[in-house]
Chains A and B, each alone.
Chain A
Amino acid sequence: MHPTFSILLFTTLAGTGYGLLFVLCVGLLLGLLPTDPRLGLIAMGATLVMITAGLLCSLGHLRRPERAWRAFSQWRSSWLSREGVAAVLTFIPAGLLTVFWVAAGAAPWPLGLLAAIGAVVTVLCTGMIYQSLAPIPRWHHPLTTPVYLCLSLATGLVLAALLTGSWLTPSLPWPHVAALLALPVAWLVKWQWWQRTDAGMPTATIGSATGLGKLGRVSLLESPHTGSNYLLNEMGYRVGRKHAAKLRRIAVVLGAAVPWLLLAVALFTPSPAFAVFLTLLAALAAVAGTLVERWLFFAEAKHMMTLYYGEQTV
């Protein structure tokens, strides 16, 4: 599958943003975060900017973005529509929570609860868009949505550690500790996804796609067209698979190892300013690693359509 940059940015930015929203809401609900208006402005401001920027990026993928409002109509059957509905509905409690937090220094628990649920549901829908697509066997795997949820939570926690860390010292900066736990878990789930989707048996073959398998070995003799077409540009992408192993290691190092070490050092650094600096680097690395992971998610996935263009198995 062709990794479209607008989708990569959308799922990474909005995924991190919703993870951050979830962490902030849970922090408020459990009384682990002060309802200081300045913290509200910075943390919720960053959350809403990330989510909004991500959603705007997703519009860049549409060829007719002026009709995007129509995408809220088919929530009964379409995960993409559900994602749109959930994303917009989540803005209501999240926006109100920001207003209360910043203006009144208060965090009404129903708003926090609704925003946390909205964040989880939106990321769940994002994962299900991909997981529900049977023609792409690598995506059509029960771990696909958990990977989206776990990475969203892990990157959200790193961001929360950055934004709330200096408010929480000298007490235990719980987002740092939680991020140190969540990062390995999230990437372990991702590693499992890689292992299992690598080991998956081919779902369809050139023989079953053409129905000619019973005649013997089937191969493409001539393509139906001499140039490229939409299908090949969109789904025939192969470059990513060549460097997949190396890119996986880059993703894990950038997304998990580097932020984990930086956060661990930050936790024991006496200087608060230096701790914030280290956490900022950790956040940048975590988001960059997720971006590489997202790129591979597309680049490594094979679509069954390619069986008609010479692939033997998918």
Chain B
Amino acid sequence: MTMLPAATPPKRLGLVIDLDTCVGCQACVVACKEWNTGGYGAPLADQRAYGADPIGSWLNRVHGFEAGEGANGRTVHFPKSCLHCDNAACVTVCPTGASYKRADDGIVLVDEDKCIGCGLCAWACPYGARELDPLAGVMKKCTLCVDRIYAEDLPEGEREPACVRTCPTHARHFGDLADPNSPVSRLVADRGGFDLMAEMGYRPTNKYLPPRPGRSGCGAAPVALEDASPKGGFLGWLDKVLS
């Protein structure tokens, strides 16, 4: 059913992504593709993977942005996947009931057996979080590794999304954002985590942590070159004798 859950889910599982520590290594992108091509639903198809114009569906992509100018400018690596919005328009526009939001943990999923591949949910998502699989003809999106986080055959420490597990700089955190005392909620509170395009009112679950401010003055003023005509001292005497 593509109505959103009547009540706010008791748990809001999601990711907190640290834009300060992400180094843009793309490990999460690859780990996501690897896990999800063999897990939930149809494989994440690639076409012409070694050809001139390869194309395929990926659930997580890392964009690179430049923010600020001059000495205060910085490069920000920006991972983006489904934000599992509370007010998920991708769910309500779905004509078939394939797109749905789980009432108990808020994860937004696609039932691939019901999807007709009309693409309307991708149009309804301002974040570009959904990609149609070119071969299976059904919509693909981040599942928050729903087949990992509840997998009882995995050791408890491994029951987290593949992207979180693989991140070498701990830029990705997974947890319950409905619980104000969860580590992810505290991280958001401490670091001033924010919503992407909050003005659009989709109320995304995933939060982003802003890059920390740079050290003041670092790189702001060019370091002066050594004075070629030193005053006083041995070098001053030498300069005077030789010139």
Contact = CB atoms under 8 A, between A and B. Distances in A.
Contacts of B54: 227
Contact of B116 (A64, A204, A206): A64
Contacts of A309: 63, 128
Contacts of A214: 210
Given A70-B116, A71-B116, A230-B57, A135 B95 contact: no
A230 B95 contact: no
A218 B126 contact: no
Interface in B42-64: 53-58, 61-64
* Interface residue range, chain B: 35 or more
A62 B64 contact: no
B55 A134 contact: no
Interface in A244-281: none
Contact of A211 (B97, B118, B128, B196): B196
B15 interface: no
Interface in A209-249: 209-212, 214-225, 227-231, 233-235
Contacts of B118: 61-63, 71, 80
A229 B131 contact: yes
A84 B211 CA distance: 47
Interface of B: 1-3, 19, 29, 53-58, 61-69, 72-76, 78, 80, 89, 91-98, 114-120, 122-128, 131-132, 134, 137-138, 194-200, 208, 210-211
Interface of A: 1, 61-65, 67-68, 70-74, 76-81, 84, 129, 132-136, 203-204, 206, 208-212, 214-225, 227-231, 233-235, 303-305, 308-309
14 contacts: A63-B137, A64-B116, A67-B115, A70-B95, A71-B118, A77-B2, A135-B124, A204-B199, A208-B196, A210-B196, A215-B74, A221-B64, A227-B55, A308-B127
